Every structure is written in structure tokens, then in C-alpha cells.
A and B are shown apart, each in its own frame.
Chain A
């Protein structure tokens, strides 16, 4: 079975500072990896995904993530954050082989941007 661990439940950052949200996964098979963002009182929105190819993936709103197979990690980064990035961020993994593509989610990281 797959699992996802988001290492920080809360991350406070000052505006315009860089940020990294950490995600580790475990799986015995090839995986697809995702980051989603949830703004207050909304559903989840896809930030970026890794399916294959380049291990550095660029997403919306200036975010990027790097797939590291040896460390089973998929950390999310942004070089300079804005107040509008305040949200909850979820890392997720799915089996790259099995049908239906069930996603397993981490517990979430609440990113708070302070002025």
C-alpha cells in the first residue's frame, strides 16, 4: 500500500521569502505524484503533477517540485511567496500501473504568509 507523509503541518513564512513544503512517499511500484492547493472554503486545485520524464516539474502560480526517486521525495518550492499563497497544500501519490488511479493524500501543510 502507498502512503504519503508531509513533514510539516504548518509553515509560517514572510512575504517574498522562499518556501519549501516537504513530502515523502512510500510505494512498492512506480508512482505518479501530485501537489494540490486548497484555499479557504474551496475544493482542491491541482498545482502540478509528475507522471514521467524530467524530474523537475513546474506548476501554476510559480510553484515547482522535484521528484527524487532515491529519497522517495517530492518537495514543493517557490522562490518568493505572496500573501495570496496562504492556503493548505496536499501532496498525493497514485499507482502508475493500476486502473482507476486512486490518490492517497498526505495530511496537509498549512502555509501562512506574514507581511
Chain B
């Protein structure tokens, strides 16, 4: 089975900090995605990548950036964390149709 690992389950950061969320997959998948999940809003796509060093904006990229230097790793960066970025962040990877998700990182910005 494909495994997608997110480095932290829970994070608490201060407003203005630079925050890195890491995601690693072990099955050589081309595509990787970052979503945020908020109650009543479902999952919203922040950024995705379909190859190393390639990235595309999703629906809500403002305040975020990403890095994909190696195929297996896709990092989400909050340049200057704000309280409205408190959320559950989910990473996923895919080869064709359908995703495999990580367990999520619940980020709280205080």
C-alpha cells in the first residue's frame, strides 16, 4: 500500500512565524497535493505538483508556497503564519485516479 506521511500531527505556531509542513510518499507517485480542511467547507486545494520542481496554484494559494525538490517530498510553507491559517492540512499523492491521503496536520496559529 502507498503510504503518505505527514511529519507532524499537531503544531502550534505564533503569528508571523514561517511554518513548514512536510509530506513524504513512498510509491513514486507523480502527483502530490496540499489541501486544507475546515468545518462546513470541505477540502480546498492550496497547491499541487505533477512533477519535481513543478507546482500549480489551487483554489486558495494566498499566503502559502510549496517546494518539491524530490519526487517523494512535497512541502507546504506558510511564509508568515496568521490566525486564519489555523486549520487541518492534508497532503495526498496520486498516480492516476484517486488519492492516498496522509493523516493530516492540525495547525494552530496563536
Binding site for B on A (CB under 8 A): 6, 9, 32, 34, 36, 41-46, 49, 51, 90, 94, 99-108
Contact = CB atoms under 8 A, between A and B. Distances in A.
Interface residues of B, number: 26
Interface stretch (B11-19, B42-50, B63-71, B75-83): B42-50
Contacts of A6: 42
Interface of B: 4, 31, 33, 35, 40-45, 48, 50, 56, 58, 90, 92, 94, 96-104
Contact of B43 (A9, A90, A99, A101): A90
B88 to A, nearest CB: 9
A94 to B, nearest CB: 7
Nearest to A32: B97
Contacts of B92: 44
10 contacts: A34-B98, A36-B101, A41-B104, A42-B104, A44-B92, A90-B42, A100-B50, A101-B96, A107-B40, A108-B40
B104 A43 contact: yes
Nearest to A34: B98
